[in-house]
Structure 1
Amino acid sequence: MKKIMTLCSGVVVVAGIMMGCTPPLAKEDQKANKQSLNKQSEKKQLTGKYTMPEEHSKHEGTWLQWPHNYTYGKGHKENLEAIWIEMTLALSKGENVYIMAYDKKEKDYIYDLLHDEGVDISKIDFYIVPTDDVWARDTAPIFVYDKDNNLKLMDWGFNGWGKKTPFKEDALISTQLSKQLGMERIDLNEVVLEGGAFELDGNGTFLSTRSAVTNKNRNPNLSEAQINEYIKENLGATNFIWLDGVPNSDITDFHIDGFAKFYDKTTLITMKKEDLEEWGVSNKDITTLLNANDVSNNPYKYMYLPITQKNVVLESGKKLDYRGSYINYYIGNTVVLVPNYNDSHDKIANESIQKLYPDRIVIGIDVRELYQDGGMIQCVTQQQPVSLK
């Protein structure tokens, strides 16, 4: 459980009407998606073995690690479950939802729970995979294409954010799923790299914080240059934007995913300078972030989202000593799930994000119970792109 703020129950629909389930991709759509991928990754495949599709690309489904009480005791699951139900309801309208259950008992329990909540169970696949925690962005496999467009599991090392939490089960998730899915696993465990620690622009740029990657509690025997080579070889990045970050500021050592996200290959979504300062970003890092260049040395365009107007207050009335970010949203096939905090800025953020994704429905999900553990929506989701074969 992330006990300190990191960068990762009622539903609010901002615009439009929830669409029905999306049918499987037609052959023409598969062909168009494949051609688009090839075009986007042509430059990267000269240097990288694999391509990680952008989050907004078509998904086969989304992976969730269902909360349980085996690691942190009674009450952990009960505090979080409403969020998982809402995510599952929303995502299953347009894609499959793949749920990792700790054991068969938990799987049966989750099945009955979702059935009673009116979820279309035909859109849900269950996998019995023991987990320590819920942070799928950091611990679930990253799905990539090889040069022949075969889908594979990329398994970077995970050590509990520098051995701060239990991680034995989480470190084995990719191995477990590789066997159950019959999908090849790319073993990169020699490098610790959490999914929430980096952003890719889809055109050869890698954005991250040194405090969460080159930190000695992650990769004590690797230099930054060596880590860059791993990323270049396996993710195709040739342009590296490294912020210093803030070691020990939170359990993740300052993941990038709470305050910066690529909208596309030319545009970064972040916060205004004063909000970045409130978030704890140093002046040096703010300068680096707001003056970054892409792989062709062209400056990025910027779009800004607010943070909450006030420090987050839980339903119980307990006040957290930090404000909430909206940048840690998740893009599904037909919806965008946005973290909400019962704050006056929720509406502003939801409407701003709706304008960015007019072909999807923005759904605000109250994440306060999750946020007190240190995370938001993207932190607990991981996309699986469509198969191109």
Structure 2
Amino acid sequence: MQKIAYLCLSAVLSTSVIGGCSQGKGIEKVQAKEVEKTQSGEVKKVEAQKKVGKYTMPDEKGKHEGTWLQWPHEFTYGKGYQREVEPIWVEMTQALSAGEKVHIVAYDEEEKERILELLTYEGVNMGQIDFFISPTDDVWARDTGPIFVYDQDKNLKILEPGFNGWGKKTPYKKDALLRENLSKQLGVERIDWRKFVLEGGAMELDGNGSALLTRSAVTNKNRNAKLSEKDIETYISELGVTNFIWLDGVPNLEITDFHIDGFAKFYDRSTIITLNKKDLAEWGTPDKDINKLLQAKDAAGNKYKYVYLPLSKNNVTLESGKQLDYKGSYINYYIANGVVLVPNYNDPNDKIANEMIQKLYPDRKVVGIDVRELYKNGGMIHCVTQQQPINLK
């Protein structure tokens, strides 16, 4: 498949398959079995992480203080763009605010007042909403928003890698300054990684010493020309990572150079959520990467278990009736307090994927959100959200 020209402009903290509805039901049975194994403790336990890093990146499933959203505006792509995608932000805010704060980045004070009026009209609990003013270029909070970690004294800090517009493909200067602006407003210290360019959607962690990445989106010379792979691993090892699962990826297939969070993520320390071989190939994943991903081992040398989610049954069709030439992924979901936000495509497999994900997270409510108008521009739910963990002190 020709993956989106912009796939997941924003797709780090820490899934897709199917050629038809009947196949999806078969996959669902396999999925339930894998979940049962995981929940019953039958899955082989991995050893505790031996090396503790300077910083800890909390799992997305952990307790959130809130979620960050960069609100869509008209100043980069016009009012039409804002009008098309803004309903998605309203739906996300409504769902998220039931269980946590929603931190909205507004372009300026005038935009803040407009958003406030809109959300009030939509019946959102405004006691759960707060605003931060910072000019942005776009909406991709996963890649440009604040990445929160704990230091060894349990202080909350913001990790600040460099951002250069996905390998200098876009002149996004405002987004490159966003973490600095927000850290000043929050009074939270930044960890300076600016010499290392890394987008949030380019890396997944299992919380037990392993990282899943693509070279095309991380070691690529359009981002880190002055850093070797070993240099990059030295940075990431500060998060306690000792086991690097490098896929080669595909440079220039789309703007992100093949972010990992569109097609794979960790469910837990022993399980990877991804696509089956057929769908990985349709996603554009090279054969070598497919084999490496499906044979990956954790930091203790144990093979991972796998759970497979479906792609949409059909190529995505927009509300206008225009058909895109690619299918949609459900792996790019976002886990929040009490809910899991899942990208939907007005497709028969939405129901299948939602039910499969619900079984993965029985203590949370799955909320399917129609992302078609966002997807045509390159992103899904995980791409536009960023979690803030609770303060431990």
With the length of structure 1 as denominator, give the TM-score of the two structures.
Answer: 0.89
Return the alpha-carbon distance in structure 1 between the equivalents of residues 252 and 228 of structure 2: 20
Say whether 1:58 aligns with 2:55.
Answer: no
Counterpart-to-counterpart distance in 1, 2:168 and 2:283: 24
1:217 alignment partner, SS class: helix
Q: Does 1:382 align with 2:386?
A: yes
2:170 corresponds to 1:165: yes
For the Cα contact (< 8 Å) 1:47–1:232, is it kept in 2?
Answer: no
Take 1:42 and 1:313, find their aligned partners in 2: how far apart are those partners? Answer: 45
| Aligned residue type for 2:343 | P
Q: Which amino acid aligns with 1:100?
A: V
Q: Structure 1 residue 94 and structure 2 residue 95: aligned?
A: no
Q: Which amino acid aligns with 1:291?
A: Q
Residue by residue over 1:358-388, the C-alpha shift from the partner in whole angstroms, topping out at 9 and shown as x without a partner, is 0000010000000000000000000000000
How far apart, CA to CA, are the structure 2 residues paired with 1:279 and 1:5?
Answer: 14
- Report the counterpart of residue 30 of structure 1 in structure 2: none
Task: After superposition, give the CA deviation of every residue in 1:309-347 in whole Å (9 maximum; x if it has no partner).
Answer: 111000001111111000000001010000000011000
3-state SS in 2 of match to 1:353: helix
Task: Judge conservation of contact 1:329–1:378 (CA < 8 Å) in 2.
Answer: yes
1:200 deviates by 0.1
Does residue 361 in structure 1 map to residue 377 in structure 2? no
| Partner of residue 132, structure 1 | 137
Q: Give the match's secondary structure for 1:348.
A: helix
SS at match of 1:308: coil
Q: 1:369 to 1:297 in 2, by over 3 A?
A: same
Corresponding residue for 2:120?
Answer: 115
Distance 1:201 1:336, change over 3 A: same
Shift of 1:292: 0.1
Q: Distance in 2 between matches of 1:216 and 1:47?
A: 29
Give the letter for the 1:190 counterpart.
K
Deviation, 1:74, is 2.5
Report if the CA contact (8 A) 2:48-2:208 is conserved: no
The residue aligned with 2:76 is 71
Match of 2:19 in 1: none
SS for the counterpart of 1:113 is: helix
Task: Tell me what 2:5 maps to.
Answer: 4
1:248 and 2:248 matched? no
2:109 alignment counterpart? 104
Q: What residue is the counterpart of 2:43 in the other structure?
A: none
Count the aligned residue pairs: 355
Q: Counterpart of 1:24?
A: none
Deviations 1:188-222 (A, max 9, x none): 10000000001000101010000000001000011
2:335 to 331, 334, 357: 331
Deviation string for 1:260-294 (max 9, x for gaps)? 01000000000111010110001100000000000
Q: Report the Cα distance in structure 1 between the residues aligned to 2:105 and 2:157, rounded to whole angstroms.
A: 18
Rounded to whole Å, the distance in 1 between the matches of 2:244 and 2:284 is 22
CA distance in 1, matches of 2:47, 2:201: 22
Give the SS at the match of 1:196: helix
Contact 2:4–2:326 (CA under 8 A) maintained in structure 1: no
Contact 1:5 1:322 in 2 (8 A): no
Kindly tell me: are residues 42 and 386 of structure 1, through their superposed partners in 2, closer, same or farther at Cα, counting changes over 3 Å?
farther
Alpha-carbon deviation of 1:47?
A: 4.5
| RMSD between superposed Cα atoms in Å | 1.5
Structure 1: give runs of 5+ residues left out of the alignment: 9-39
CA drift at 1:163: 1.2
Alpha-carbon distance, 1:49 to partner? 0.8
Matches within 5 A, 1:1-389: 4-7=5-8, 8=11, 43=49, 46-233=51-238, 235-389=239-393
> What's the CA shift for 1:76?
1.4
- TM norm structure 2: 0.89
1:130, 1:5 → 2: CA distance? 22
1: CA distance, partners of 2:7 / 2:47:
31
- Cα deviation per residue 1:137-183 (whole Å; 9 max; x = unaligned)? 00011100000100001111100101111311101111101110011
Q: Secondary structure at the match of 2:222?
A: coil
Structure 2: how far apart are the matches of 1:331 and 1:56?
A: 6
What are the ranges of 5 or more consecutive residues in structure 2 without an aligned counterpart? 12-45
